Chains A and B, each alone.
Chain A
Amino acid sequence: MTTEALERTKTFKPAEWIDAQPHYFLLLLMGALGFLAMIFYSWAHLAELGAEPTVLGALGKAASSWLTMTVAGLAMGLLIFIMASGMTLVFGLMHVLNLGHGAFITLGAFVGASALAALSGLTQADSLLVNLLAIALVMVAAMLVAGAGGLVFERLIVRPVYHDPLKQILVTVGGSIVILQLIIVFWGPNEIPVSRPGSLLGSFTFGDVVIEKYRLLAVVVGLAIYAGMQALINRTRIGLLIRAGVENTEMVENLGYRIRLLFVAVFVAGSALAAVGGVMWALYDQMIHSHLGDLRMVQVIIVIIIGGLGSITGCFYGSLLVGLLFNYLSLVTPMVAEFASIGLMFAVLMWRPQGLIPVIRV
Chain B
Amino acid sequence: MLDALLSGDYPRSRALSALLLLIFVSLAFAPFLFPGTVAYQTYSKICVFIVLVASYDILLGYTSIVSFAHTMFFGIGAYAVAIALRDVGTGWDAVLLGTGVGLVISLLAGLAMGLLSLRVRAIFFALVTLAVASGFLILTFKLYTFTGGDDGIRFSVPRELRPSFKLLESDLTGFDVIGFLTTGSLQDALFKVSVNGRVVMYYLLFVICTLLFLLMLRVMNSPFGRVCQAIRENEFRAEAIGYRTVYFRTVNVCLAACIASLAGSLMALATRYAHPETFLSFGVMVNILLMTVIGGMGTLYGAVVGASLFLLAETYLQNGLGWVHARVEGIPLLADVLTPERWLMWLGILFVLSIYFFPKGIVGQLRVWAQARRARRSAGGDGETAAAPTLGRR
Per-residue A-contact encoding for B120-161, CB less than 8 Å = 1, 0 else: 111110111011101100110010000000000000000000
Main secondary structure of the interface of A (DSSP, over half): helix
Would you call B128 and A349 a contact (CB within 8 A)? Answer: yes
Beta-carbon contacts under 8 Å, B333-357 to A? 333, 336-337, 341-342, 344-345, 347-349, 351-352, 355-356
**Contact yes or no, A177 B127, CB < 8 A:** no
Chain A interface size band reads: 35 or more
Task: Find out whether the CB atom of A173 lies under 8 angstroms from the CB atom of B122.
Answer: no
- When distances are taken between beta carbons in the complex, the residues of chain A under 8 Å from B342 are 181, 184-185
Q: How far is the CA of A280 from the CA of B64 in the complex (A)?
A: 37
Known: A160-B356, A350-B119. A173 touches B289 (CB 8 A): yes
Whether B303 is near chain A, meaning CB under 8 Å from some CB there, is no
Within 8 A of B (CB), among A312-362: 335, 338-339, 342, 345, 349-350, 353, 362
A165 CA / B121 CA spacing, docked (Å):
12
CB distance from A243 to the nearest CB of B (A): 21
A266–B348 CA distance with the chains assembled, in angstroms? 25
A174 to B292, CA, bound (A): 13
Whether B286 sits at the interface, judged by CB under 8 Å, is yes
Question: Which stretch in A134-142, A229-237, A300-308 binds the other chain?
Answer: A300-308
Does A154 make an interface contact (CB < 8 A)?
no
Residues of B352-383 contacting chain A, CB below 8 A: 352, 355-356, 359
Contact yes or no, A345 B122, CB < 8 A: no
- B residues in contact with A160, CB < 8 Å: 356
**Residues on the B chain within 8 Å of A362, using CB:** 120-124
Interface assignment of A167: CB less than 8 Å from any CB of chain B: yes
B266 within 8 A of partner (CB) = no
Q: Whole-angstrom distance between the alpha carbons of A276 and B185 in the complex? A: 62
Interface flag for A224 (CB, 8 Å): no
- Chain B interface SS verdict (over half): helix
Which residues from 182 to 223 on chain A have a C-beta closer than 8 Å to any C-beta of chain B? 182, 184-185, 189
Interface string of B147-182 (1 = CB under 8 A from A): 000000000000000000000000000000000000
Q: Is A97 an interface residue (CB 8 A)?
A: yes
Question: If the complex has contacts A294-B282, A345-B131, are A309 and B352 also in contact, measured as CB distance less than 8 A?
Answer: no
* Known contacts A294-B282, A305-B127: A174-B352 contact under CB 8 Å: yes
Chain B interface residue count: which class?
35 or more
Q: Is the CB of B131 within 8 A of A177?
A: no
| Chain A 275-304 near chain B by CB (<8 Å), digits 1 or 0 | 000000000000000000010011001101
A165 contacts across to B, CB distance below 8 A: 122-123
Residue pair A301, B130 in contact (C-beta under 8 Å): yes
User: Within the complex, what minimum Cβ distance (angstroms) separates B212 from chain A?
Assistant: 25
**Out of A178, A189, A298, which one reaches B348, CB within 8 Å?**
A178
Q: Type the 1/0 row for A161-182, where 1 means its CB is closer than 8 Å to any CB of B.
A: 1000111011101110110011
Once the chains bind, are B289 and A302 in contact (CB under 8 Å)?
A: no
Task: State how many angstroms separate the Cβ of A218 from the closest Cβ of chain B.
Answer: 23
B119 touches A353 (CB 8 A): yes
Give bound CA distance, A305 to B129, whole Å.
12
B84 is an interface residue with CB less than 8 A from chain A: no
Q: Does A173 contact B286, Cβ atoms closer than 8 Å?
A: yes
A157 located at the interface, meaning its Cβ lies under 8 Å from any Cβ of chain B in the complex: yes
Contact code string B249-286 (vs A, CB < 8 Å = 1, else 0): 00000000000000000000000000000000010001
Residues of A within 8 A of B139 (CB): 339
A239 shortest CB reach to chain B, Å = 24
Q: Does B216 lie at the interface of the complex (its beta carbon under 8 Å from any beta carbon of A)?
A: no
* Inter-chain contacts of A169 with B (CB < 8 A): 66, 123, 126
* Bound CA span A335–B286, Å: 28
Known: A167-B359, A353-B120. A182 touches B131 (CB 8 A): no
Q: Which residue of A lies closest to B338 (CB)?
A: A185
Query: Smallest Cβ distance from A223 to chain B, in angstroms?
Result: 26
B74-116 to A contact mask, C-beta < 8 Å, 1/0: 0000000000000000000000000000000000000000001
Which chain B residues lie closer than 8 Å to A174 at the CB level? 290, 348-349, 351-352, 355
B131 and A305 contact, CB distance less than 8 A: yes
Known contacts A181-B345, A301-B130; A97/B119 CB under 8 A:
no
Asked if B48 is an interface residue, CB under 8 A from chain A, the answer is: no
List of A residues within 8 angstroms of B66 by Cβ: 166, 169
A171 and B124 within 8 A (CB): no
User: From residue A300, how far is it (CB to closest CB) to chain B in Å?
Assistant: 10
Q: Interface centre among B66, B120, B127, B356, by most A CB within 10 Å?
A: B127
Name B333's closest neighbour in chain A (CB-CB).
A185
Quick check: is B228 within 8 A (CB to CB) of the other chain? no
CA distance in complex: A170, B351 (Å): 9
Bound state CA distance, A173 and B66, in angstroms? 12
Chain A residues with CB under 8 Å of B126's CB are 97, 169
Interface centre among A173, A294, A353 (most CB of B within 10 A): A173
Complex: chain A residue closest to B112, CB-CB: A346
Whether A309 pairs with B348 at a CB distance below 8 angstroms is no
Q: Are A338 and B138 within 8 A (Cβ)?
A: yes
Q: Is the CB of B355 within 8 A of A170?
A: yes
- The verdict on B293 contacting chain A, using a C-beta distance below 8 Å, is yes
Query: In the complex, which of the residues A166, A189, A335, A339 has the most CB atoms of chain B within 10 Å of its own CB atom?
Result: A166
| Cα of A284 to Cα of B64 in the assembled complex, Å | 39
- Contact partner of B352 among A175, A338, A350, CB < 8 A? A175
Determine how close the nearest CB of chain A comes to the CB of B292; give it in whole angstroms. 9
Contacts of A302 in B (CB 8 A): 131
* Pair A177/B351 contact, Cβ less than 8 Å: yes
CB of A309 within 8 A of CB of B124, answer yes
Q: Do A298 and B131 touch across chains, with their CB atoms under 8 A apart?
A: yes
CB pair A345–B348 under 8 Å, yes or no, is no
Residue of A nearest to B232 (CB): A166
* Most B CB within 10 A of own CB, among A157, A170, A171, A297: A170
Cβ-defined partner of B293 (8 Å) among A157, A170, A175, A349: A170
Chain A hits for B351, CB < 8 A = 170, 174, 177
In the complex, the answer to whether B132 meets A342 with C-beta atoms within 8 Å is yes
CB pair A178 B345 closer than 8 Å: yes
Task: Give CA–CA (A332, B359) in the complex, Å.
Answer: 50
Partner of B131 from the list A184, A185, A189, A342 (CB cut-off 8 Å) is A342
**17 extra interface residue pairs, beta carbon distance < 8 Å, beyond A178-B345, A301-B130:** A157-B352, A165-B123, A170-B289, A170-B293, A173-B286, A174-B349, A174-B352, A177-B347, A177-B348, A301-B127, A304-B127, A305-B127, A338-B138, A339-B135, A339-B138, A349-B116, A349-B120
Q: Which 4 A-B pairs have the closest CB atoms?
A: A181-B345, A177-B348, A174-B351, A178-B348
6 contacts between A and B (CB under 8 A): A165-B122, A174-B351, A298-B130, A305-B131, A309-B123, A362-B123
